[in-house]
Amino acid sequence: MKNPPDIIENTEPIYDIENAFDIELSDDDISALYDMSVDEAAQKIFEIQCRKYAEIVPVPIPGQTIIETVYSNSGTERNLITQDANGLFRVSLLQNSNFS
């Protein structure tokens, strides 16, 4: 960290970031964000969101195998790409209030 203030964790700006992006920042995340440009910080926040949403396990659809799960940038929607026993592929858009 280049020249941080004495305290950056548990401050209003950090709470604002966590609330705005629905994430929880670790001490390491906060330290890393402090030294980043806006573009780098945006990418880091996106990666943190992806980690969060990747922990949500998709519910299997009866008779179909989940091939891929793709999340929207906001994390409030996900697409499931599935394949059934006949080899047909389907894309299902799911919205879940647990994501936002």
Q: For 13-61, how does the pLDDT look when each residue is reduced to its tens digit (9 = 90+)?
A: 888 988 888 888 888 888 888 888 988 988 888 888 777 766 555 566 6
pLDDT tens per residue across span 70-80: 877 766 667 77
Angstrom distance (rounded) from CA 42 to CA 44: 5
For residue 94, is it within any domain? yes
- Residue 93: give the domain boundaries: 64-99
What confidence score (pLDDT) does residue 75 get? 65
83 part of a folded domain? yes
Strands 89-95 and 64-71, bridge-based pairing:
unpaired
Same domain, 68 and 50: no
Q: 96 and 87 in contact (C-beta within 8 Å)? A: no
Does residue 48 sit in helix, strand or coil? helix
Count of domains for the chain: 2
Tokens (6 digits) for 35: 């030294």
Same domain for 49 and 17, yes or no, is yes
Task: Write the CA distances from 36 to 7, 43, 85, integer angstroms.
Answer: 17, 10, 48
The answer as to whether 5 is a domain residue is: no
